[in-house]
Structure 1
Amino acid sequence: SGARLGAAAINAAKFVVSKTGLTPGGHQRVLRSGVVGMKVGMSAMYDHFGARHPLTLIQVQQCHVLQVKTPERDGYSALQVGSIDKMPKRASRAELFHAAKAGVPPKRFVYEFYVTKEGVLEQGTELTASHFRPGQYVDCTGVSIGKGFQGPMKRHGFKGQPATHGVSRSHRSHGSTGQRKTPGRTHKGKRMAGNMGGDRVTVLSLMVMHVDHA
């Protein structure tokens, strides 16, 4: 079923877990490939200080290196990684040919990770949760939970309007959205009610708490 790893919590359905490329001192180090995983649930773990940390359980399965990009041929160094096998009859001829060069089935999700020359892997290499170890810090990218159309209080944390003193039927409204003649319009980026969630979100420097190699 694939191995699992636990990282600090972020609400998402699909994760791209990658390694950062700089040490705390700002020195360049080996930039390794990330992996593509699926969120399978939440858990919690206590550290050696007794502090409780919420965890996101990420399952890494059927994750392979599809293509190796080099500075000489492509202008930059990166690994193209695919995850979750796709039925051949549902893949295009281009996808089938591309995956066949790596000796793996076509993939549903494909991402690229910048790597340094020390972090280059061979085409067709399988990536599992064993790619990480507890104590490492990773960057997680995923899609936040969609919450639909929400008001400004929930979406942006507005405090709302007074409950009394002449206010009626607009207690949770955002109020005025602009001025009169000057500028005579609502500025772009004005925080108002609207669709909330379903966005690409990246959380940096999450600690890997546990790796299940089963």
Structure 2
Amino acid sequence: MLNTILGIKKEVNQRFTQDGTRIPVTRIKAGPCYVVQIRDEKKDGYHAVQVGWGEKKMTKIKKPLKGHLRGAKLEKAPRFLREIRLEKPLGDEIKVGERLKVADIFQPGDQIKVTGWSKGKGFTGVVKRWGFKGGPRTHGQSDRERAPGSIGQGTTPGRVHKGKKMPGRAGNARIAVKGLTIQAIDKENEELLIKGLVPGAQNGLLIITKTGKTKRFVPLMEVGKKEIEETEEQRTERLRREEEAKEALVAAGETEAKPQSGQEEKSVEEKEKKTKEEPVEEAKDNG
């Protein structure tokens, strides 16, 4: 079966698992996805499946793409088209024009790889692009604070080596994040809830590929539910930690409430001095 699907990044939020752990969760819209074309090794030289995500009007696309989509018999044109390479043919498992469902490919607890395109930062300097420290801020070098410094040698070799880190465009690169976990699947809305963060901006295209299973998977807690599902050992350990934290807070409060003896003596002496000085000043005024 096909192990890859397309989607777009919707939002990043936080949720709690059933053991009470707070985790970052990314919501991905992974449908509708359609099979547009199936490539064969005899005809094309390799095995692949062309998948389309999203929907837009046929009037918004050009005639060559309309002819390409004619074989899939789709009512609307896909918003994104991507080709997924395969090691071996899928046979009769999928057909052209078939709609791919998220629940048929993924299950909660699956480990996945998400590929996306990072946010473009434009033309940036070496400090932002490569993390350079910059030049000194003193001794009359006020204009060298974010400068790259020397970029090579002199007469030998008399050129700048290839791969030298210099200013240029940053971001807008293809990035793959591995080791992410599917926490939940919304079959009705064709959405995935993924533990972790994925590259790209909101509504950016993502390619989600299944890589395996997570060994220690803990499902998400239901929204609005406050009870933590835990074993007796976990409960006793949690209560012990809570008691230790309370005792530490009480001990810290007692030390703050008790002033030092030297400070008490100074405050008493200052009060006595003030009481002695006040009547003397009044007598001088009367005199």
Q: If the length of structure 1 is used for normalisation, what is the TM-score? A: 0.75
Tell me the SS of whatever aligns to 2:79.
strand
Name the SS for the 2:119 alignment partner.
coil
Rate the CA distance shift 1:70–1:42 in 2: closer, same or farther, 3 A: same
Percent of residue pairs bearing the same amino acid type? 37
* Alpha-carbon displacement from aligned partner over 1:80-127 (angstroms, at most 9, x marks no partner): 101122321222233223222112132231111123334852111112
| Deviation string, structure 1 residues 22-42 (Cα, Å, up to 9, x no partner) | xxxxxxxx6x24211111111
Q: Retained in 2: the 8 A contact 1:44–1:54?
A: yes
Aligned partner letter, 1:89: T
Post-superposition shift, 1:213? Answer: 1.6
Query: 3-state DSSP class of the match of 2:127?
Result: helix
2:92 aligned with 1:122: no
2:40–2:48 contact (8 Å) kept in structure 1:
yes
Unaligned runs of 5+ in 2: 189-287
User: How far, CA to CA, are the matches of 1:176 and 1:106 in structure 2?
Assistant: 52
Q: Residue 203 of structure 1: which of 171, 177, 183 is its match? A: 177
Q: Secondary structure at the match of 2:10?
A: strand
* CA deviation after TM superposition for structure 1 residue 72, in Å: 2.7
Shift of 1:165: 4.8
User: Take 1:162 and 1:54, find their aligned partners in 2: how far apart are those partners?
Assistant: 39
2:73 match: 103
Cα RMSD of the aligned pairs, angstroms, is: 2.2
Aligned partner letter, 2:69: A
Question: Which has more strand, going by share of residues?
Answer: 1
The structural deviation recorded for 1:138 is 1.8
Residues 156 and 48 (structure 1), Cα distance of their counterparts in 2 relative to 1, 3 Å cut: farther
The separation in 2 between residues aligned to 1:125 and 1:174, in whole angstroms, is: 54
Evaluate the alpha carbon distance shift between residue 191 and residue 212 of structure 1 in structure 2; reply closer, same or farther with a 3 A threshold: same
Displacement of 1:53 in angstroms is: 3.0
SS of the counterpart of 1:168?
coil
- Structure 1 gap segments, 5+ residues each: 1-29
Distance 2:21 2:71 in 1: 48
1:34-49 alignment runs, 5 A limit: 34-48=4-18
CA contact (8 A) 1:33 1:113 kept: no
How do residues 67-106 of structure 1 correspond to structure 2 at under 5 angstroms?
67-104=37-74, 105-106=76-77
| Separation in 1, partners of 2:150, 2:25 | 41
CA contact (8 A) 2:137 2:144 kept: no
* Residue identity opposite 1:60 in structure 2: A
Structure 1 residue identity aligned to 2:77: P
Deviations 1:126-156 (A, max 9, x none): 1233232221122211111111222212211
Question: How many residues get paired?
Answer: 184
